[in-house]
A and B are shown apart, each in its own frame.
Chain A
Amino acid sequence: MDYEPVIGLEVHVQLATKTKLFCGCRTTFGAPPNSQTCPVCLGFPGVLPVLNKEVVELAILSAIALNCTINPYSRFSRKNYFYPDLPKAYQISQYDLPLAKDGWVEISSGGKIRKIGIIRVHLEEDAGKLIHEDSGSLVDYNRCGIPLIEIVSSPMLRSSQEAYEYLNALKDILRYLRVSDCNMEEGSLRCDANVSVREKDAEGFGTKTEVKNMNSFKAVKQALDYEISRQIDLLEKGRRVLQETRLWDERESRTHGMRTKEEAHDYRYFPEPDLVPLSINPEWVNKISKRLPELPKDRMNRFLKEYGLPEYDALVLTSSRDLADYYEECVRLYNQPKVISNWIMTELLALLKEDGIEITQVKIKPEHLISMLGLIDKGVISGKIAKDIIVHMFRTGKDPSLIVEEKGLVQITDEDEVSKVIDEVILENKKAVLEYKSGKTKVMGFLVGQVMKKTEGKANPQIVNKLLREKI
């Protein structure tokens, strides 16, 4: 029998704010345990939450980019359950009236574009972190109260690959918006998956399991593949799928059922009395949508048209908002879009990759890259030397003219000086000169190379060529 999987993802994304959702504690990753906590996020008696405006605006911005409808009236609710990482024994979340609903993102699947529905986007606070040791569990509340949006997709993903594409699409959009760095390793993006399988083209749904604990997009894909085949296997053997939560085990590459507690999930949601409702009018949404940057796809199309770049270059350059910004800043300073694209695509990106850093961390300022291109134009340096200079610029962040001066890399354009070197080369390579004269014009390259070698690459290649021809 043919089966198809039905997958829905619940993605939690940490919003990039300076402070937590309901208090002024920092959100910096990796601080010493419990050093970024206060009575509010520790849930001490008598304290009250106050909503961070930036959180709301970043969430609205995300919802707009995910094509959602922003609810004009939304509110927070308490989700009640006991767990040591939850100091109030309730999580402040949104329940019956979430911030936004009914959106979609586009993914490409098997060469076609599919719209994946988003059921809702809501705000909630993160819980703390537990470290399990033999003698007991240790609790760190630094993460407690970190602002999250939960993005719930509709169950219309039909393969692990589609789920992977969907996650990447979400990540690209949210990073472009700068609402989150979407770093799964640091926990700023987390993903739980609801998976079931059914006979292909069936109407209803099979029993689903919830798969958790994946810490990379690749792991999500692997866990889904595992879970899908596990479920199909069960059905083929005539057994049934148990509705349960299963944890992905990275080391063993398998999911296993969580030891289910007797407790039914009775979260006793009710409206949070310590917070007042959110009323988001169209003016506010409009104001926030002004913060909406041009999204990757639009920008790529513009790059194609405006700068006449090859599709691949446009795609790469718009893959990150910072890279595209960098590129456009260069183009603004120096109207040679293709030349700039070439330098960024071949030299700069290779250097970034080598060092494993992002464009935001690069030491080469756009104005320096441009002044290097200017030096080539003016004939001060050759393109070949420029390739060395850009490496120096990358390491030191220095002005290229300064590097040229320091290293004595100025091109030799004095014909007399070049001429002397050529004479030497002709003397030292009589055989080659003869070959050239007998018609083997290819030898010219070798001779030019010898001149360049002697001048440490500084001789102007046009002049070398010209003089060599004259002299032989």
Chain B
Amino acid sequence: MELCEYTCWQLHDMLKRKEVSSREITESVIKRIEEVDERTNCYITKTFDVALQKSHQVDDKIRRGEEIHPLSGIPIAIKDNICTEGVRTTCGSRILLNFIPPYDATVVKRLKEKGAVFIGKTNMDEFAMGSSTETSYFGITRNPWNLETVPGGSSGGSAAAVAADQTILALGSDTGGSIRQPASMCGVIGLKPTYGRISRFGLIAYASSLDQIGPITKDVRDCTLLLNAISGYDEQDSTSVNREVPDYTKSLVEDLKGIKIGIPTEYFGKGLDKEVEEGVLDGVKLLCSLGAEAEETHLPHTDYAIASYYLIATSEASSNLARYDGVGYGYRGAEEDLIDMYKHTRSSGFGAEVKRRIMLGTYSLSSGYYDAYYLKALKVRTLIKQDFEEAFKKFDCLITPTSPTPAFYIGEKIDDPLTMYLQDIYTISTNLAGIPGISIPCGFSHDGLPIGLQILGPIFGEEKLLQIAYTFEQNTDYHQQKPKI
């Protein structure tokens, strides 16, 4: 077994016992990237020099007998919408092709302090707008389980890299499912924390009130380690919550006694793939056999979630992306005069999906439509949030499929925006309500593609989600299977 195939906690043990060095781990990951990235295209920018340098530092520390953090010396991949000082951060867009941030995102700063080894910046749908990682200016990322299929999106690069052992850990961002859905399609763990749990400072905004950074990992233990490292209040993000961060590794206990699981029927209707449905319901059965109780429940406004989401997300995006105007940084198009410069910059700097969403968002905020679209969507959001609050009065968690289907084929949905949007049907409400959700592998389709099970909890209910996910994982081996690439 190559070092790149291990989990973070396993490698940490080996580092502490001095069985391996961070340099060996880093080299193993680099070798793996060099072998397979040509086929998967997980990375936009590779930072091997920086990584090796950092691994030396950690090795020195170990040699001196100093204590090391569980993430010290462990390679991590960062989604390319998270700013890294001195390292190009593109958001998968031509418009930021050469943008080098003079600052680190707060999460990056926190990981650096802990000695994590930055291996590279991962591919993503342009500005995180997509569910397939097909809209990047830097090409399509392919799913390591089947190179003809998509890895999901928008954090497809991060999820595929973790699945293909091209990194040990990864960070993604989730606005409507962008961590969980690719995690599900790539057979790895993906957690979207409660809104405000993790600082958004340095995360290039898509939809500010929905965006959240989160871990993508090989197992639940790694997920808790990464979550511990990046969580907590940040005075640079007014929307981050000043609330104590528990030690999430304490949730790694196998215990489901008295756990009440709600199964929202709205998530098991039309459009759900049979194999996915079976996989998830089998997962629920397993949890019940381990001591949990499950019961059907309702989230009555689910049907309005996608509509509400696309109005809110695109409205915020239309404003967030207005700054890409060719003045201060990034790509600048031909410039006859000012208006020309704006139009050329933005028309050739952005891809089709981004432009579509900017148009939709601009429309929904524009005079005469605000009340019917944006404001209305915010009200529907309240109803969706209330649905969850009701459900969590009765249940500890809700279990649903993460995505209606396993990975689909490249090109299959790219020309039909609405069908693509419907991919997010099970993940989107979570962001609207601000609650946490985790996707864990719960089986495979007949053609060997991973299936994900999603566990949702109340605001700041990460601990219970992780406990349930951990218990599930301890009693299955889906997470240990590797794609043959």
Contact = CB atoms under 8 A, between A and B. Distances in A.
Given A44-B101, A46-B101, A273-B316, A80 B327 contact: no
Given A39-B103, A139-B327, A48 B319 contact: no
A80 B200 contact: no
B148 interface: no
Contacts of B83: 45-46
B338 A46 contact: no
Interface stretch (B245-253, B366-374, B448-456): B366-374
Residue of A42, A43, A45 with most partner-chain B CB within 10 A: A45
Interface stretch (B183-191, B230-238, B278-286): B230-238
Contacts of B102: 39, 44
Interface string B194-236: 0000001111110111000000000000000000000000011
A82 interface: yes
A366 interface: no
Interface of B: 81-83, 89, 91, 96, 99, 101-103, 105, 200-205, 207-209, 235-239, 315-316, 318-319, 322-323, 325, 327-329, 338, 342, 362, 365-367, 370, 374
**Residue of A87, A270, A275 ringed by the most chain B CB atoms within 10 A:** A270
A89 interface: yes
Given A39-B102, A268-B365, A47 B239 contact: no
Contacts of B316: 270, 273
Contact of A268 (B89, B207, B238, B366): B366
A274 B323 contact: no
A48 B236 contact: yes
Contacts of B329: 44-45
Interface string A246-275: 000000000000000000101011100111
Contacts of B366: 266, 268
B99 A51 contact: no
B319 A276 contact: no
B328 A42 contact: yes
A90 B319 contact: yes
Given A46-B204, A50-B238, A89-B323, 6 more contacts: A44-B328, A87-B327, A269-B365, A270-B370, A273-B316, A274-B238
Interface string A47-87: 11111000000000000000000000000001010101001
Given A270-B315, A270-B319, A276-B238, A43 B362 contact: no
B338 A84 contact: yes
A139 B327 CA distance: 9
Interface centre among A42, A46, A270 (most CB of B within 10 A): A46
B200 A48 contact: yes
A264 B316 CA distance: 21
B163 to A, nearest CB: 27
A230 interface: no
A88 interface: yes
A103 to B, nearest CB: 28
A46 B105 contact: yes
Contacts of A50: 235-238
Interface in A1-38: none
A78 B365 CA distance: 11
Q: Which of A88, A268, A274, A276 has the most CB of B within 10 A?
A: A268
A80 B322 contact: yes
B322 A90 contact: yes
B208 A43 contact: no
B357 to A, nearest CB: 15
Interface string A267-292: 01110011110000000000000000
Contacts of A44: 101-103, 328-329
Contacts of B374: 270
B416 to A, nearest CB: 28
A47 B202 contact: yes
A46 B327 contact: no
Nearest to B127: A45
Interface residues of A, number: 30
B109 to A, nearest CB: 13
B342 A46 contact: no
20 contacts: A43-B328, A45-B96, A45-B205, A46-B83, A46-B105, A46-B203, A46-B204, A46-B205, A48-B236, A50-B235, A50-B236, A78-B319, A80-B322, A80-B365, A139-B327, A270-B365, A270-B370, A270-B374, A273-B207, A273-B316
Contact of A46 (B201, B238, B315, B328): B201
A43 to B, nearest CB: 5
Contacts of B96: 45
Contacts of B205: 45-46, 274
Contacts of B323: 43, 45, 87-89
A133 to B, nearest CB: 14
Given A44-B101, A87-B327, A276 B202 contact: no
Nearest to B321: A89
Contacts of B82: 46
B187 to A, nearest CB: 30
Nearest to B202: A46
Contacts of B315: 270
Contacts of A82: 322, 325, 342
B385 to A, nearest CB: 15
Interface string A165-196: 00000000000000000000000000000000
Contacts of A39: 101-103
A46 B235 CA distance: 15
Contact of A49 (B81, B202, B238, B365): B238
B406 to A, nearest CB: 33
A87 B238 contact: no
B138 to A, nearest CB: 17
Contacts of A43: 323, 328
Contacts of A45: 83, 89, 91, 96, 99, 101, 204-205, 323, 329
Contacts of B238: 48-51, 274-276
For the complex of A and B, list the 6 residue pairs with the smallest distance between their C-beta atoms, beginning with the closest: A89-B322, A268-B365, A273-B208, A273-B209, A45-B204, A46-B204
Nearest to A81: B322
B239 A276 contact: yes
Contacts of B239: 48, 273-276
Q: Which of B91, B105, B235, B329 has the most CB of A within 10 A?
A: B329
A272 to B, nearest CB: 8
A276 B242 CA distance: 13
B83 to A, nearest CB: 5
B268 to A, nearest CB: 32
B89 A80 contact: no
A49 B237 CA distance: 7
Most chain A Cβ neighbours within 10 Å, of B203, B205, B322, B329 = B322
A263 B239 CA distance: 34
Contacts of A51: 238
A51 B89 CA distance: 27
B203, B316, B319 — most chain A CB neighbours (10 Å): B319
Contact of B237 (A42, A48, A88): A48
A374 B204 CA distance: 69
Contacts of B318: 80, 268
A62 B389 CA distance: 41
Nearest to B99: A45
A89 B325 contact: yes
Contacts of B237: 48, 50
A46 B89 CA distance: 10
Contacts of B202: 46-47
A290 B196 CA distance: 35
Nearest to B329: A44
Contacts of B322: 80, 82, 88-90
A278 to B, nearest CB: 11
B92 to A, nearest CB: 12
Nearest to B203: A46
A139 B322 CA distance: 18
B201 A47 contact: yes
A240 to B, nearest CB: 25
